[in-house]
Chains A and B, each alone.
Chain A
Amino acid sequence: MKKTAIKQLAMGLIVAAILLATSPSVKAANEASSATAEVKIDNFSFGPQTLTVAVGTIVTWTNRDDIPHTIVSTDGVFKSKVRDTDETFSYSFTKPGTYNYFCSVHPKMTGKVIVQ
């Protein structure tokens, strides 16, 4: 009786593990954690100006201007150091929400990341 119970429990755990590994929802979550997205800075503007990504996405900004820029969250969530030509800044968005940001050197430059 005792032996059977342990056997059943073990079987149950194995089944659970298999289900977990193959379940589509878990697979999607694994993929999202390694997802990346790009924002290019060209001609004093962020492109795309509004970027929509899944939770866990790492967003990388690349400055392609001849002039340095920064990427600074309006709410203080993230702040890059100054980025000169071809330099990048990355941030991993782990929580859903709308993240407004701007270039603190040229504050007319604004952008938004929507994390869903």
Chain B
Amino acid sequence: MPPQKHDLINQEMQDLNDDGIDRRGFLKCMAWAGTGVIWTMSGGVPVSQVFGKSLNSGKPGNFSFAQISDSHMGFNKPANPDVVATLQAAVDKINGLATAPEFLLHTGDISHLSKPDQFDTVDQVLKGASAKDVFFVPGEHDVLDDNGASYLARYGKNAQGAGWYSFDHKGVHFIGLVNVINLKSGGLGSLGAEQLEWMHRDVTPLKHSTPIVVFAHIPLWSVYPEWGWGTDDSEQALGYLKRFGSVTVLNGHIHQTMQKVEGNVTFHTAMSTAFPQPAPGQAASPGPMKVPAERLRNVLGVADVNYLRQPHSLAIVDSSLA
């Protein structure tokens, strides 16, 4: 991984911890150690700890889920000529986790070109996951040409509008948002008025102590607007979540891990299972980044998210496919 990426993370990180780990040194260490990071949310104060596997220790009410993203089924360029194999590797990784995730989230760009056979292949590979339920949100590659009609027909049976929905799992409220439809010239990702209104209504009855997980394809924070890595009206969506003690925002799209903590909100982007993209501004464009074949699986991966009932905390562990 290029060092610039970690410099950027360091600049955006707020050192809110008193865990005795120097964050700058910790992240730099991670970069070459190829290990993962855990974020634990506790009363709005994030606590980081070194990657450990026995996080849940089987306490009742605790659970974990895994996030996969950007499988780009159908992509066959030199950056990764076999995206089926790397998606399969992601499923193997998930199946090998010490605590079995109870479901999967796919944060979009399931397919590369919105083709039925591409969606079919992903569905087929994901059937091999130990977790049987998969919750999807679309990426821009899933809604090409037909403005999302075929995506909705396949994945949107329980969804509203362009495919947004919410559900509850063991006391945690999950909200899947769509920010890849009706994009305006010169703009970023967009949620739109109808979806924002729905979201406002959706969260209104919830207690402020309810842990919230929001997932969408394009980052809901301004990662790098020059490359379109942000969402024009995400501020409004995040405004509805200000009163909640624990909010976790999971995104894909940028094919690399980035994290930011702002008050009670933890933002996290997942790696792709298909190909890496350059760190912001470190290439002529955000196109696929070619790395040596033996390095590829170091820059692809999955995110494993653990929820601890006491003290209502969420922890994210990123694992590469290597």
* Chain A residues at the B interface, C-beta cutoff of 8 Å: 43-45, 65-68, 70, 74, 81-82, 84-85, 100-102, 104-108, 110
Contact = CB atoms under 8 A, between A and B. Distances in A.
Contacts of B226: 108
15 contacts: A44-B285, A66-B77, A66-B288, A68-B141, A82-B144, A82-B145, A85-B77, A102-B185, A105-B183, A106-B228, A107-B184, A107-B186, A107-B187, A108-B187, A108-B227
Given A45-B285, A102-B186, 7 more contacts: A67-B287, A67-B288, A68-B113, A74-B185, A100-B185, A105-B183, A108-B228
B228 A107 contact: yes
B144 A65 contact: no
Chain B's interface: helix, strand, loop or mixed, by majority?
Answer: loop
**Which one of A44, A67, A106 has the greatest number of beta carbons of chain B within 10 Å?**
A67
B112 interface: yes
B186 A44 contact: no
A107 B184 CA distance: 6
Given A81-B145, A105-B140, A105-B144, A110 B186 contact: yes
Given A43-B285, A67-B288, A108 B186 contact: yes
Nearest to A75: B185
B36 interface: no
Contacts of B285: 43-45, 65
Contact of A43 (B112, B185, B287): B287
A67 B113 CA distance: 9
B41 interface: no
Nearest to B184: A107
A74 B284 CA distance: 25
Nearest to B290: A66
B286 interface: yes
Nearest to B182: A104
A41 to B, nearest CB: 10
Contacts of A105: 140-141, 144, 183
Contacts of B140: 105-106
Interface in B255-305: 284-288
B121 to A, nearest CB: 17
Contact of B287 (A44, A74, A100): A44
Given A68-B141, A81-B145, A107 B288 contact: no
Given A67-B288, A82-B145, A107 B185 contact: yes
Contacts of A82: 113-114, 144-145
Nearest to A45: B285
Nearest to A80: B145
A72 B178 CA distance: 21
Contacts of B191: none
Interface string B182-198: 01111110000000000
Contacts of A110: 185-186
Contacts of A44: 227, 285-287
Interface in B216-249: 225-228
Nearest to B140: A105
A45 B186 CA distance: 12
B37 interface: no
A107 B188 contact: yes
A107 B227 CA distance: 10
A68 B79 contact: no
A70 to B, nearest CB: 8
B30 to A, nearest CB: 29
Contacts of B187: 107-108
A82 B284 CA distance: 22
**Which one of A45, A84, A100 has the greatest number of beta carbons of chain B within 10 Å?**
A84
